[in-house]
Homo-oligomer: A and B are copies of this chain.
Amino acid sequence: MNTVHVETPGGAYPIHIGAGRLGLLAQSIPADATAVALVTNPTVGGLYAAGVEKTLAEAGHRVLRIDLPDGEEHKDWQTLNLIFDALLQNRFDRKAVLVALGGGVIGDMVGFAAACYMRGVRFVQVPTTLLAQVDSSVGGKTAVNHPLGKNMIGAFYQPDAVEIDVDVLKTLPQREIAAGLAEVIKYGMIIDAPFFDWCEQNVDALRALEHNAITYAIRRSCELKAYVVSQDERESGLRAILNFGHTFGHAIEAGLGYGQWLHGEAVGCGMIQAAELSAAVLGLPRGSVERIRSLVRAIGCPDAPPDLGVERWLDLMQVDKKTEGGQLRFVLLPEIGRAVCQPAPDEAVREVLQRTVSA
């Protein structure tokens, strides 16, 4: 078992990474919990909820299972309210603990529910997708979507613990593995060039979920994200670099309708566009752009962005929350392993959109 320690002004907590962690979940539930709500979806719940319920009940906890409908299109206030309804109907008090068993959608919603229920209760993240394990379960960002924008309503709220069981990846569709690897390779691009090299060299082992390779990739990703988040919990500075590829990626998701592309797929493709923009604005070498494009392809993500029309692209990126005072800001790479956040000239953005979208 590997443990990564995350420290932020909003709280410190451990991330446990290993095989068989689901069976040890009770260790991460605070002893004074008055009840535990196990929030999941039918897909993940069908595979793992019964075992987790049994583990928690054997440890003496009163457990309520709450199933939410599956998918990004349900990441909204209406679904969030299903959690509040169940907690209030079952008289969960301020010392209850929520457990998020599922992917990023479940994690974001349960985290936000924990942030808001009675103005804040404790929660434990049990991410079951690779994407959630290396990204959304670290750093305390929680949210739901609004019809006018993704993750527009949310909170910074830290979990009590994160439990990452690498065994659950075996039941994950290949497409979701690829989407998760997109975030893994992102850390190499923005902050750790040797890790980028390592990912290039181990891409086949990663896609095959070879135990040592995938465990190291998760641990290194969590360490890198934890480092960034500890420097900047509320995204006023350094943390923005984690959004590399996301301004383009969010536009893909919003433009096609949430749920068409997986979030990681959209980010993977968006990183190629952001690399192209980095070449145009900061002179990122063409060879580096092509290495990024090749690695995105090699992990199994799509590399051709959808043709939404340039004006629509710009419009979708405007509403993204990384704009300030109306000026479009991007995370760009001067070189692989280093990222900066800055505005980009409109014509450069248009040129990249025209070129990548028609490619």
Chain A residues near B (Cβ < 8 Å)? 34, 77, 81, 84-85, 88-89, 91, 93-95, 115-120, 141-143, 146, 148-149, 151-156, 234-235, 318-319, 321, 323-326
Could you say which residues of chain B place their CB within 8 Å of the CB of A324? 34, 93-95
Could you say which residues of chain B place their CB within 8 Å of the CB of A155? 115-116, 119-120, 155
The one of B120, B151, B321 that contacts A234, using a Cβ cutoff of 8 Å:
B120
Could you say which residues of chain B place their CB within 8 Å of the CB of A319? 88, 91
Q: How far is the CA of A209 from the CA of B143 in the complex (A)?
A: 44
Q: State whether A325 touches B93 (Cβ < 8 A).
A: yes
Smallest beta-carbon distance A287→chain B, Å: 36
CB-based nearest B residue for A142: B119
Q: State whether A318 touches B77 (Cβ < 8 A).
A: no
Q: List 22 A-B contacts (CB under 8 A).
A: A34-B324, A34-B325, A34-B326, A77-B77, A84-B146, A91-B318, A91-B326, A93-B321, A93-B323, A93-B326, A94-B321, A94-B324, A95-B324, A116-B116, A116-B153, A118-B152, A118-B154, A119-B142, A119-B151, A119-B234, A120-B155, A120-B234
The one of B118, B152, B235 that contacts A88, using a Cβ cutoff of 8 Å:
B152
Q: State whether A149 touches B321 (Cβ < 8 A).
A: no
The one of B94, B116, B119, B156 that contacts A119, using a Cβ cutoff of 8 Å:
B156
Smallest beta-carbon distance A243→chain B, Å: 13
A-B CB proximity, top 4 nearest? A88-B148, A119-B154, A34-B325, A118-B321
State how many copies of this chain the complex holds: 2
Q: How far is the CA of A118 from the CA of B323 in the complex (A)?
A: 11
Pick the most buried of A81, A115, A156: most chain B CB atoms within 10 A of its CB.
A115
Could you say which residues of chain B place their CB within 8 Å of the CB of A153? 84, 116-117
CB-based nearest B residue for A234: B120
Q: How far is the CA of A143 from the CA of B115 in the complex (A)?
A: 12
Q: State whether A325 touches B95 (Cβ < 8 A).
A: yes
Smallest beta-carbon distance A286→chain B, Å: 34
Smallest beta-carbon distance A258→chain B, Å: 15
Smallest beta-carbon distance A117→chain B, Å: 7
Could you say which residues of chain B place their CB within 8 Å of the CB of A143? 119
Q: State whether B89 touches A148 (Cβ < 8 A).
A: yes
Q: How far is the CA of A156 from the CA of B95 in the complex (A)?
A: 16
Q: How far is the CA of A149 from the CA of B88 in the complex (A)?
A: 8
Q: State whether A77 touches B81 (Cβ < 8 A).
A: yes
Q: How far is the CA of A120 from the CA of B235 in the complex (A)?
A: 11
Could you say which residues of chain B place their CB within 8 Å of the CB of A148? 85, 88-89
Q: How far is the CA of A94 from the CA of B152 in the complex (A)?
A: 10
Q: State whether B88 touches A156 (Cβ < 8 A).
A: no
Known: A93-B325, A120-B155. 6 other contacts (CB 8 A): A34-B325, A91-B326, A93-B323, A95-B324, A116-B116, A119-B156
Smallest beta-carbon distance A70→chain B, Å: 22
Could you say which residues of chain B place their CB within 8 Å of the CB of A146? 84-85, 88
Could you say which residues of chain B place their CB within 8 Å of the CB of A119? 141-143, 151, 154-156, 234-235
Could you say which residues of chain B place their CB within 8 Å of the CB of A34? 324-326
